[in-house]
């Protein structure tokens, strides 16, 4: 079976998060997206300390789809330098099969 990842990014608004999630899932770069928020964020950005609210996207994908997913996120994200991070994902066999099937290009 393929290796799997949970990929995270965040946006400033819920609408931006929904649009980004829809574009990623429609392109079969992720099997699904969960949008969580608003979440409190504390960070350093451009040399300044800041706080704010963001909407977090959690995307489920295969490791071999990550490169294309990252490119898509960076091209379609409203921010110039957004977080795009990934961690390994383990799960139930049927769940992982769903990710496999849902991220196959050209299955529409």
Encode pLDDT of 31-65 as tens digits: 999 999 999 999 998 899 999 999 999 999 999 99
In which band, very low, low, confident or very high, does the pLDDT at 96 lie, cut at 50, 70 and 90?
very high
Q: Could you tell me the CATH number of the domain that includes residue 8?
A: 3.30.70.120
Single pTM value for the model = 0.92
Specify if 89 maps to a domain: yes
Residue 46, pLDDT score = 86
Residue 61: closest CA among 93, 98, 99, 88: 99
- Flag whether pLDDT at 2 surpasses 70: no
Question: How far is Cα of residue 62 from the mean position of the Cα atoms in its chain?
Answer: 12
Query: Is 48 part of a structural domain of the chain?
Result: yes
Average pLDDT estimate for 5-26: 97
Q: Is residue 107 part of a domain?
A: no
Say if 75 falls within a structural domain.
yes
Domain that holds residue 48: 4-102
Domain count, the chain: 1
Q: Regarding beta strands 4-11 and 85-88, do their DSSP bridges make them parallel or antiparallel, or are they unpaired? A: antiparallel
pLDDT, position 1: 47
Q: What is the mean pLDDT of residues 74-93?
A: 95
Structural domain includes residue 86: yes
Q: Does 108 reside within a domain? A: no
- In a domain? residue 91: yes
């Amino acid at each position: 079976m393929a290796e799997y990842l949970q990929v995270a990014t965040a946006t400033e608004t819920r609408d931006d998060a929904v649009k980004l999630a829809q574009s990623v899932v429609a392109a079969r770069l992720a099997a699904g997206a969960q949008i969580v928020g608003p979440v409190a964020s504390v960070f350093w950005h451009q040399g300044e300390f800041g706080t704010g609210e963001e909407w977090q996207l959690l995307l489920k994908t295969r490791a071999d789809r990550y490169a294309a997913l990252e490119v898509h996120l960076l091209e379609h994200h409203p921010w110039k330098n957004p977080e795009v991070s990934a961690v390994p994902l383990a799960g139930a066999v049927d769940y992982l099969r769903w990710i496999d099937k849902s991220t196959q290009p050209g299955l529409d």
